[in-house]
Amino acid sequence: MVHAKAGKAAGKSFSDTIRERLGGHTITLCYQCGTCASSCPVAKRTPDFNPREVIKLSLLGEKDEILGGQSIWLCCSCYNCQERCPQKVEIADVIYAIRNIAIEKGHIPSIYIEFFNAISNDGRIVKVSQFAENKRPTLSLPPLQPTGVEAVRKILAATGFDKILPKKEESQ
Ligand code: SF4
Ligand code: SF4
């Protein structure tokens, strides 16, 4: 059984903060059985990620370790764990909730900054090379359509996402 520790005396605990987020409300149902970890393809490949551990540390209030660490970014959102959790903890969604908190605090992996810049500049995460463009007709593929990057920028602005990068830069 896990007991929330840090943050309780000072007000809202870290798990309370997660519970209030979209997807985060089931975190406190976890009883640490480990089914998620044994179902997780990422945990099988690397000792740097264990969903049970992410849940445990979050319940313990270790928010600096969770928000500032790499592990929450290693989940590949396959939802294996979520289908198998006997407590119906929505683990992948909990991890999304934690990621959103981390992003708001300026903890954003560099790869996501690159994605943002690419989407903001070109409307695509991956820039299409001239080679690929030239190859398309030889494969009977039509030319690529413009991405509508202005519309993409409006979405980024409307969601407030364009405000996050300066926050990241300030935190560095
Ligand atoms: S499977 Fe569910 S209850 Fe078991 S450790 Fe993972 S999140 Fe907790
Ligand atoms: S959703 Fe994430 S934590 Fe769950 S099994 Fe897949 S990779 Fe592992």
80 token code pair: 């294996």
Among 111, 108, 119, 126, CA closest to 154: 119
163 token code pair: 């405000």
The per-residue pLDDT for 1 is 44
Q: How confident is the model at residue 166 (pLDDT cuts 50, 70, 90)?
A: low
3-state secondary structure of 91: helix
- Higher pLDDT: 126 or 3? It is 126
Å from CA of 106 to ligand 1 middle: 28
CATH number at residue 27: 1.10.1060.10
The per-residue pLDDT for 10 is 57
Residue where a domain terminates, one of 82, 104, 126: 104
The per-residue pLDDT for 146 is 87
Residue whose Cα lies nearest atom 4 of ligand 1: it is 33
How many angstroms separate the CA atoms of 171 and 44, rounded? 33
How many angstroms separate the CA atoms of 75 and 78, rounded? 8
Residue whose Cα lies nearest atom 4 of ligand 2: it is 81
pLDDT (average), residues 112-136 = 90
SS3 content of the chain, % helix, strand, coil (to 5): 60, 0, 40
Number of compact structural domains in the chain: 2
The per-residue pLDDT for 70 is 94
- Identity of the amino acid at 18: I
Contacts of 132 (CB under 8 A, 6+ apart): none
pTM for the model: 0.81
95 and 136 housed in the same domain: no
The per-residue pLDDT for 112 is 87
Q: Which atom of ligand 2 is nearest to the CA of 51?
A: 3
Residue whose Cα lies nearest atom 2 of ligand 1: it is 85
Å from CA of 91 to ligand 1 middle: 8
In a domain, 7, yes or no: no
pLDDT at 2 over 50: no
First to last CA, the chain: 37
3-state secondary structure of 7: coil
How many angstroms separate the CA atoms of 104 and 163, rounded? 10
In a domain, 54, yes or no: yes
